[in-house]
Structure 1
Amino acid sequence: MLWCEHALDSRFLPPVYILVFIIGLVANGWGLKTLLQNWKKLGNVNVFVFNLGLTDVLYLLTLPYLVVYHFMKSTWIFGDTFCKITRFCFNLNLYSSIGFLTCISVYRYLAIVHPMKVMGRLSVTHSVVISVMVWLLVSVQSLPDMFFTKTYGNKPGKCYETTSTFYVEDYLKYSLGWTLTGFCIPLLITLGCYGHVIVTLYRKENIDKVLKRKCLRLLFILVVLFSVCYIPYHVLKNLNLWSRVLQKRRTCCRWFNGVYIAHQISRGLVSLNSALNPLVYLHGSEDVPAQLRQQLEEAGQMLRRLYFSSFGRVTVSQSNEDI
């Protein structure tokens, strides 16, 4: 078990975190810039998308410290307070992302299923107030996590994602309640909204095709995020906590190692949400994919020019040497 823990922590998680850090910063930076350029076209939903990007950047800035931690074989050298802040930022990112994605889903549902009732009534002010409420609710849910033991004081050692074995039973109860309020309820709301949206899209023939395409695109993004990032993490996190409770009670089961390995993989996958969330920017405007293609084409042309200019110099120099 101990060898498996060090192998996964030092070999699997750091490369994933480095990849997420690079892709996430580039994608969120480009996405936020594009969002500000298309602010009026996106409507009231842009407030939620903007906050989604902020949560990602907040979490991404903590990843270099986690990379150092795992490269040092789970030895935290940055102190107890910063360990708690790092874990708090992760939780804030995770549950704020779920919250803002749920808000986007509800707004999309209202715009399609009840357009006459909400048209002109939902303003940017409403979106700002709802965003503040999401931040406050997630902060209140995440705050108790900071009161659980995370390190061995300020001595170098573990920086627990959850808590030490001594408090694991209490943490499991807290985690189950947190999973229900922070994940299960938003998931059910999102499924209900998009289930009704899909029915409405196929029943009404007068709905704009572009709007249909946007909704189906966003639905696909949400399915990917929940299936790859959120569902496995929550299921395996609580299973791993339960296995730790059983171990504390001197109960041994064959599935402990398998759950632990799967949970570590799910930790890497859930961090991908900060790299995948910018896909939400793509669904918001038809101009964004075109801008991305244009920028990629311009980058490709620039690389080709650099290559041919360098190749041309090499060819000329070789010809001069032959003479």
Structure 2
Amino acid sequence: MGEKLFFFFMNLLILGMKQGNMLRTNNSKVSPRTFKGHSVPVQLPLPPNATETPPHSSSTAAALPELQLLSNDTAMYLRGGVSTRAVPALYIVAVVVGLPSNVAILALVGAKVRKVSSAILYCSLAVSDLLLLLSLTLKAQYHLAGNNWAFGEAACRLTTACFYGNLYCSAHTLACISAKRYLAVVHPFFYKSLPKRSCTSWASLAVWVIFSAAMAPELLVHQTYHIPQLGITTCHDVLPADQSIYDLLVYYNLGLTLLGFLLPLLVIMACYTSIVWHLNRSHRDWGLYIRASSLVMVIFLVCFGPSSCLHFLHYVLLYSSGNESFYAYFSVAACLCCLHSCLDPFLFVVMSRTAGSKLYFMSRKGKTLSIST
């Protein structure tokens, strides 16, 4: 199933690249993961001894670069109830539920880091979820204010990098947890021989280093633009389509989508499917473990599946024809990823019940091997 999905998305990418070669000459330049706009020249302030006073000199927005929206659909989304009511409502729910629960899990599991190898991954997941939830507090205020950013350019860049970077970190940490459980159940003798604390430590460190470096472009590119048509200042939602620096980010974000969303999705689906299939073949009663594994797999699929597919299709359309319509759908689907950050602590409680009882396997020499996942 995972291989079929992978080849399906790769065929879409190849088709988009072919169409892009034909349509590139007839379409305006595209911008990454956002709506598009045309740059408006910024009016520089006159010298102090000038007799004329530039318009809007007292306005903060006048100091920001301006963009002219290219589509009425963009204006409708930025002013609509989905982006100004539904999206922030889901963010607030995630923050209210997720912050205390992740702090509790971090305090509970942190004391076991030196004894239990899985605790390293769960602590890494809790920290990633907490950083994501903290970024949601600013994003919720931004959407409730009518998609008007009031915290400055530096805060916008940091919030955007924190939001996407920790989504990717959470997804890959969950993939590491699923791979660890897969090895424990499907390849128990190999798993028993591994230096588990060392492996989990290096895996967590690699995830953080890779995605911290991958977020560097989000910190370097200008993110806030004033939209005179709507009288608002957007953060990341609208970027210029007529500046070449943003063209390169299309390829960057397309690759990041494949690595950050689709890869862990396929890994988790493959691991838990294999776990459930092997335990079902066993003569022992693994009902609790099977139900817990199935629950984790389904929740991850529901939370990360829609955003992964829509994110990928958004970039295929953006590259091939400059169509930006999927960004609105992706922004809503990304809320499901954020809800996963407040579900992770409860999934930890479910999985810890199965990890509390050891798995027993019979070796070829007739000895019993016990493994705690």
Deviation of 1:240 (Å): 4.0
Distance 1:105 1:131 in 2: 13
Alignment correspondent of 1:278: 345
| Residues 265, 304 of structure 2: 8 Å contact kept | no
Query: Does 2:137 match 1:64?
Result: yes
Q: Contact 1:225 / 1:273 at 8 angstroms: preserved in 2?
A: yes
Aligned AA (2:301): F
Residues 61-85 of structure 1: CA distance to partner in whole angstroms, max 9, x if unpaired?
A: 1222112211222221212121111
2:198 corresponds to 1:198:
no
Find 2:235's aligned residue among 159, 184, 194: 159
Q: How does 1:1-323 map to 2 (within 5 A)?
A: 1=73, 2-7=75-80, 8-36=82-110, 43-152=116-225, 157-161=233-237, 163-166=239-242, 169-206=247-284, 209=286, 213-227=288-302, 229-241=303-315, 259-286=326-353
Give the Cα separation in 1 of the matches to 2:312 and 2:249: 10
Residues 243 and 183 from structure 1, CA distance in 2 versus in 1: closer, same or farther, beyond 3 angstroms? Answer: closer
Paired-residue identity, %: 27
- The range that moved more, 260-269 or 159-168, is 159-168
What are the Cα deviations for residues 278-305 of structure 1, in whole angstroms up to 9, with x where unaligned?
233113322999xxxxxxxxxxxxxxxx
The residue identity in structure 1 corresponding to 2:280 is Y
Partner Cα separation in structure 2 for residue 114 and residue 246 of structure 1: 43
Alpha-carbon separation, structure 2, partners of 1:108 and 1:287: 11
Separation (CA, whole Å) in 1 of partners of 2:331 and 2:263: 25
Q: Which has the higher strand share?
A: 2
TM-score by length of 1: 0.75
One-letter amino acid matched to 1:282: V
Gapped regions of structure 2 (runs ≥ 5): 1-72, 227-231, 357-373
Change in Cα spacing, 1:223 to 1:28, as seen in structure 2 (3 Å) is: same
Taking the aligned partners of 2:250 and 2:309, their CA distance within structure 1 comes to 12
Tell me the distance in 2 between the aligned counterparts of 1:223 and 1:287. Answer: 17
Cα drift, residue 143 of structure 1: 2.2
Amino acid at match of 1:275: C
Q: Given residue 174 of structure 1, which amino acid in structure 2 is its aligned partner?
A: Y
More helix by share: 1
TM-score when normalising by structure 2? 0.65
| 1: CA distance, partners of 2:288 / 2:126 | 23
CA distance in 2, matches of 1:185, 1:245: 21
SS in 1 for 2:249: helix
Q: Secondary structure at the match of 1:285?
A: helix
The Cα of 1:31 is off from its aligned counterpart by 2.4
CA RMSD across the alignment: 3.0
1:40–1:204 distance in 2 versus 1, CA, 3 Å = farther
Whole-Å separation in 2 of the counterparts to 1:266 and 1:143 = 24
Structure 1 gaps of 5+ residues are 290-323
Letter in 2 for 1:178: L
What is the rounded CA distance, in whole Å, between the counterparts of 2:224 and 2:321 in structure 1? Answer: 20
Contact 2:128 2:170 in 1 (8 A): yes
Q: How many pairs does the alignment contain?
A: 276
Which residue identity lines up with residue 299 of structure 2 in the other structure?
V
Give SS of 2:233's match: coil
1:137-194 CA deviation, whole Å, 9 max, x = no partner? 12222223333331139xx711115844335543332222111222222222222222
Q: Distance in 1 between matches of 2:248 and 2:163?
A: 20
Q: How many Å apart are 1:128 and its aligned residue?
A: 1.2
Distance in 1, matches of 2:222 and 2:318, equals: 15
Any conservation in 1 of the 2:279–2:290 contact (CA below 8 Å)?
no
Q: Work out the CA distance in 2 between the residues paired with 1:240 and 1:185.
A: 17
Distance in 2 (alpha carbons) for counterparts of 1:169 and 1:288: 47
Instruction: State how far apart, in whole Å, the 2-side matches of 1:205 and 1:111 are.
Output: 18
Would the aligned equivalents of 1:102 and 1:189 in 2 still touch at CA under 8 Å? Answer: yes
